[in-house]
Copies of this chain bind each other. A is one copy, B any other.
Amino acid sequence: MIIKNLDSISKIAVKMQGAEKVTKQLVIGKSDETPKMSLRVFTIEPGGNTPFHSHNYEHLNYIISGKGAILDDDGKENPVENGNFVLILPNEKHQFKNLSETEDFVFMCLVDKEFE
């Protein structure tokens, strides 16, 4: 059994094209010998966003804090906040963005460990 919290996990800047003011924490993954799943936490600073992109695998999300939106395939902004659970299916285009001018937008992202 492994128990962690975010304070102990380093933040890595996300360099992917289209990512602005985003960091990633690899909370649980391959290095913990998890057989299948990896859990990452992304933090988007005010004014930031992930790329508007798609990929051939699903992810499950949980909003930890802040106020944000997820753009869907049609470019529609879907507001999300703490307590929302999200499923992005394979090949669905999406983008997470921070809607607050002052507060970080923090969310969990679960993927197959192959894509951690």
Q: Give residues in A with beta carbon < 8 Å to B.
A: 1-6, 27-28, 32-37, 39, 57-58, 60, 62, 70, 72-73, 78, 80, 83-90, 92, 94, 108, 110, 112
**Contact pick for A86, options B2, B73, B83, CB 8 Å:** B2
Chain B residues with CB under 8 Å of A2's CB are 86-87
Copies in the complex: 2
Interface majority SS on A: helix, strand, loop or mixed?
strand
**Contact pick for A5, options B28, B39, B83, B88, CB 8 Å:** B83
What is the bound-complex CA distance between A60 and B58, given in angstroms? Answer: 16
What is the bound-complex CA distance between A45 and B55, given in angstroms? Answer: 39
Complex contact A3–B83 (CB within 8 A): no
